[in-house]
Chains A and B, each alone.
Chain A
Amino acid sequence: MQRIDALPIHIRAVTKTYGAVYALDGVDLEVRSGEFLTLLGPSGSGKTTLLMVLAGFTRPDAGSLKFGDAEVIRMPPHRREVGMVFQNYALFPHLDVAANIGFPLKLRGIDKNDIHARVESALATVQLQGFGDRRIHQLSGGQKQRVALARAIIFEPRILLMDEPLSALDKKLREHMQIELRRLHEQLGMTTVYVTHDQREALTMSDRIAVINHGRLIQLDDPRAIYDHPADPFVANFIGESVLLPVEIIDGKPCYRGRPLQVAAGHARDDKTTPGALLMLRPERLVFMDDARADAAAYNRFDGVVGHAVYQGENFVTYITLDDGHEVAVRSVSRKQSLAAAPPPGSTVTLGLHRDETALIPGHTAAAGNNNNDAETNRGHKP
């Protein structure tokens, strides 16, 4: 199939309420032309509602939605020329594979021979050559997924929407399809909006991730920025694992338990003097300090007592109770040496966090006026 001429999407102040509940609360979002953008959030966050607004199945109470320069908020779904893949594939069981894939072309009154040729080409694109006359119930989950995808792209929509399309597949197949979807996106180049609640999937596939919670856009960034510099405690906890420690500001410098912290330079979000800022500790960024380490001075240090350890195959995780009572995890790669050097339970250890990997995040949630988030997401932050 040919490369598709993509369209940008402009979402402005889109609001949707169900009774007193805000499913979407003034969402502004620019999806760049040809970008793979993921809407990431827990269930009930509003991410699927936003996708349904894009597809035209949910009419927002207020706001503007443009595909390119065209306002589409009042346009019915069948005129939007948007490809869509649903979570459960929603293949038509009374039609065979070729009729499923050819369905959008048949609706557009395209000649039978043309349809046949384009269906073959679409089948080749999703690597299902020769499956045209199969019935839907004869397909495996992964094959159904590919048929749904072929059906959504065959009419060359300039925008493709996907609603948790891989969540019904088992882990291995899901990871394989993630890479394949990404490859297909690079080949065809349409603007893609992808909904998932799986943070690893979002990190793997996306150009940019829009984190959504309680109907609000919390953070829009590329995967590394989302992971390394979360905008608020919710993002820090939702994506990856983290423990957040309270930071005091003494003489304009961030300190932990009276000791000044060395903080990575450069990222705009690290406002080092914000009152109530939090220090983010991720398990894989922490190391056991020993004084032989050459650049020991570059590490922030935390003292604690070793609790239990969990062996996970490729990794092992050691749980440490810090002096102030916070429990943090340290993830180490399971190599013979590191396993042998692991500190025994009950022993006292010093953990190190390199200053380049030390990130402070604002203590309040990024979406203003939504402070009840802190209580449920900020587990590391004990009073």
Chain B
Amino acid sequence: MNTAPRYMAGRMSGRISGRFSGSWLSRPASDTQVTHRGRLWLYALAALIMIFLVVPTLIVIPMSFSGSQYLEFPPRDWSMRWYDNYLQTSEWMTATWVSIKAAVLTVLVVTPLATMAAYGLYVSQLKAARYVFILLITPMMVPVILIAIGVFFAYTRLRLNNTMLGLVLAHSALALPLCLIVISAGLKSYDMNQERVARSLGASRLRAFMVITLPQIRFSVITGALLAFIVSFDEVIVALFITGSGMSTITRSMFLALRDQIDPTIAAISTILILITTAALVAAQIFGRTAQKKS
């Protein structure tokens, strides 16, 4: 639907190049004939929103290269010392490994569970299925601080405080809702007749799911797994309650460091995390796009 305006833009910019900006303003911005001039306020608003969203994240990057003892913006001199400090402090390294381990284990626990739950709720003809769905996504609706308090008291009884198992189970409960919603949405655009036909052609239900259904909902499953990873990796409140020395996650350690001593190491860590997350998102985008083209 954009072909006509684009075609015109090509011709007009060639012919009246001198008044290009003026003609761009008076040209229609969409099929509704609203000109770009009439849309200027919208462009400005959109730009403001984007700046508001992105700048707080990006501001830590220059701060991480600061040479000073304290977090400051803009930095007066530059150095890599806080990156060195992060990589050479054993507490930071331990916390990093705890976070990675917890996040990977959370993914391994949550992704199969959420896939099974999404599938079961999707094919179920029970009226109760809707309520089960709501029950499963409650961790998303309850304030995390309440969950943290509850988990802490429950774990005291169960002796799960300050254990990897406890951390992974708590994170799994927090990650399940998002993962379930994403996979359920993927199943909704999947044609269940394909699984039926596979079964009529001789595949058991499990085999039909593994060979026919799973390959086709794999993008929502992968997205759900990524989200589960991020939920666990990002989580700080529950970790503050149920983990202590030796089992502290990186976000928990960052939070404590921010409270106790304000040094730019956490800016360095944040920068690394931003890079990793951005790379993962870009990779997922590229992966998803090529997969779409193929199918």
Contacts and interface: CB of A to CB of B under 8 A. Distances in A.
B215 interface: yes
A171 interface: no
Contact of B201 (A57, A93, A107): A107
What are the 8 A-B residue pairs with the smallest beta carbon separation, nearest first? A90-B193, A84-B200, A104-B201, A90-B197, A107-B202, A77-B199, A90-B194, A86-B193
A155 B200 CA distance: 11
B58 to A, nearest CB: 39
7 contacts: A90-B194, A92-B212, A94-B216, A103-B201, A104-B201, A151-B201, A155-B202
A108 B295 contact: no
A221 B207 CA distance: 40
A137 interface: yes
Contact of A90 (B196, B207, B295): B196
B260 interface: no
A137 to B, nearest CB: 7
A307 to B, nearest CB: 47
A88 B216 contact: no
B200 A82 contact: yes
A81 B201 CA distance: 7
A152 B200 CA distance: 9
B202 A83 contact: no
Majority secondary structure, B binding face: helix
B265 to A, nearest CB: 47
A108 B191 CA distance: 24
Interface residues of B, number: 19
Interface of B: 191, 193-194, 196-205, 207-208, 212, 215-216, 295
A242 B77 CA distance: 94
Contacts of B215: 94
B201 A152 contact: yes
A93 B216 contact: yes
A77 B295 contact: no
A355 interface: no
A161 B197 CA distance: 11
A167 B150 CA distance: 56
Given A77-B199, A80-B200, A84-B200, A137 B295 contact: yes
Contacts of A336: none
A63 to B, nearest CB: 20
A90 B191 contact: yes
A73 to B, nearest CB: 16
Interface in A141-167: 148, 151-152, 155, 161
A89 to B, nearest CB: 9
A78 B203 contact: yes
Interface in A198-255: none
Nearest to B193: A90
Contacts of B295: 93-94, 137
A55 B194 contact: no
Contacts of A148: 197
A195 to B, nearest CB: 14
A87 B207 CA distance: 23
